[in-house]
Structure 1
Amino acid sequence: MNRMAGCINDHLKRYGGLAAGREDEQKRYFAEKRLYALQIETTDACQQGCIFCYAGSTPREHHGLTSDEIRGLLRDAAALEIRAIDWLGGDPLVRPDWYELMQYARSLGLVNNVWTSGLPLKSKEVAARVHEVSEGGFVSVHVDSITPEVYAKLHRGGNPHFIEAIVEGVDNLLALGKPADMMINCITYTSLQGPEDAIKTMRWWFCEKGLRTCLTMFNPAGMGAEWRSLEPQLDEVQRVYTERDRIDYGGDNISIAAMDTDKYYCGTMATVTFTGDVTPCSVIREGVANIRTTPFRDIVARHLDTLVHAALHDVQNLPNPCNDCVNNAHCWGCRASAYHYSGDADGLDPKCWLIRTALTSDSFSVNNNLQKSTDEEIGLKP
């Protein structure tokens, strides 16, 4: 068996969940149609310069929540028995008071999950503080490509040295004792890098650093609205995401298709953007209300079903053919892709190749032929 196959088969199987060690609790919240995690975009500033950034981030902050607004959100989250705060941006670690805010969240009994570009972690002092405040939570970094030439095409300014800086930051956290399975590398998959490079990057992170990949589908949101040419085609989506399943979750044919997390995370989460809008997802930028005009707890009371896609929690309410899919115990399609590509956040995800398979076959099943053909194509047969 080759080294890559050995890495995959030895890896703990998970199906896109981010509540490590608390999966049963999150599934209970899902069954009760409650919020388990709150994503807070504290700033729109980020140094990385992704050309497709859904938040429209630039190196200098133009929008951001005030410290008082964030502390109020944290208090409301604790009162609602939300369990985790996902810190987003921009890059949340470029905000001057990020450490104090995350300490405050911990004092309220909340778990901190940190979604950073990874660049600030090059500082050992920053890495040490992140390690402290993210105890029990995960840290995500963002390297779309480990290939300098491809990375340069995907980022304004195209600084390939950013790869080295982010890898150094990951090494800092690993040296401090952050478990590799509590860290993630995030990739936004676009046609510009292509399947070969995405697969190469996922392999590298997993076998060199032990990090799984959070593979996010490109959506024409934010800056991405100007880059519709980056939309991947269904065949390459199938190739890349099938390989993601193999690396992250093992070879048992379970798939979460073109999602980056399972339905238990998506169905128990809401986002507050850096302008105060409350949305079902950070990639869905249109909010149901704004915390600057309506208290967050009131917004949740009025719009909870929309935020958690409540109807879809019953698999029989999933659109056909998803309601009969063998993967619907974990997957319900990417709600952001459904929103941006088909206009309905509760509708079909047009980036799921399994739908095409279902609609062009006599019966809807995911069989071993899909996995075997993918294995042979990318050279991963033992």
Structure 2
Amino acid sequence: MSSRREEVIKVLSDFNLKDYGTNGISLSERLAEAQTQCLAVGLRNSDQFGVLLQLIDTEEGLRRLIIGMEAAALVLGAGKKLLYIPEYALKEKEWIEKSLNAAGIELRTGLIDVREHEDSVICHLVTMLALADCLDGTYEEGIYISVNGGPLKKAAPDTLIGDLTDPDVGKGVLAGNHVYSNGEWNKTLKETEAYNGVLRILAGNECMVQLAQKDLLKNRERSCGKCVFCREGLLQLQAMFKDTAEGKGRTEYPELIKEIGLAMKYGCLCSLGQNAAELALGVIEQFSDEFSAHNKRKKCPAGVCFVSTALFIDPAVCTGCMECMDQCVADCIEGKSGYIHMIDTSECTRCRACMKVCKAGAIIETDGKLPKLPERLIRCGKFKKR
């Protein structure tokens, strides 16, 4: 057992493996020097997309994860091994739990509580896969990335985001938790810290104020609420971006956003709060003209905020064909086959792609008051106005 432990430590040292997304001490030193009985593995708490879970959605991927966790636990001398998956990925739970149980690994859902694991070693899920590669002698340094929701691929850390996307399309890019304008295409993946696997071109009709507001709201919903900086910081930031999107912004908001965002980066206990402010800060820094237009001129350059028109689906005409749902890039149309579809007007960007594919002509644009519409899914032909 001792010789196997020393063998693993040497392999990790030879590859100089570090925990995924960090520049800290090498994993070999971290594991060998730790005094703990628990290894906790998962995504970063700030990861609200779960793109990297694709790496373990096959039997081979899960097998390699188990190999990595067993090797790390061996070096630690840890008798307790935990794997965390986010609540939004519960569909992944059932099929992997049996294999994990056989390996003595407990599966948990939700955020990794840093208070509970103050004396544990917490590692990224990708680190365990890399550890397995090190043991095979096949490890190559890289960052996993999905471009515009495409296949997850491994790219060299010094790859430029301009080499992965088209600089002539859109107005910027979302890389990890950061947003960059079109003038930042020469940044590398390592510089952008795109360690959640997300790289997405930002369309010209995408409002950056709305993007930040919705991102902050998602983080508020996922926050455990135990950390004051995270709980209160997210509340204040989201409120300011919401005000701005509604034309109620104040001139002092940019400085307040910067102040609160920087305080969260250093005051929050886990990555959810530490990274949640990154996108908001990026909008203030990279898209200051767009934010200022909302604040000072009550104008949305993307044409999303302050518009009086709205799209709705006529319940008397809708056939429940689902064509509009397939075309909606904002994913704001709810429905299923044979049921009257409904548009969430608060999420709708009014791109009108749904109108173009609706053969029944059920989607209508209005600048007046919306008529009585269904509040839940109802079969086509069954809706009655009251």
Q: Which has the larger radius of gyration?
A: 2
Normalised TM-score (structure 1): 0.23
Q: Highest relative contact order (Cα 8 Å, sep 6+), 1 or 2?
A: 1
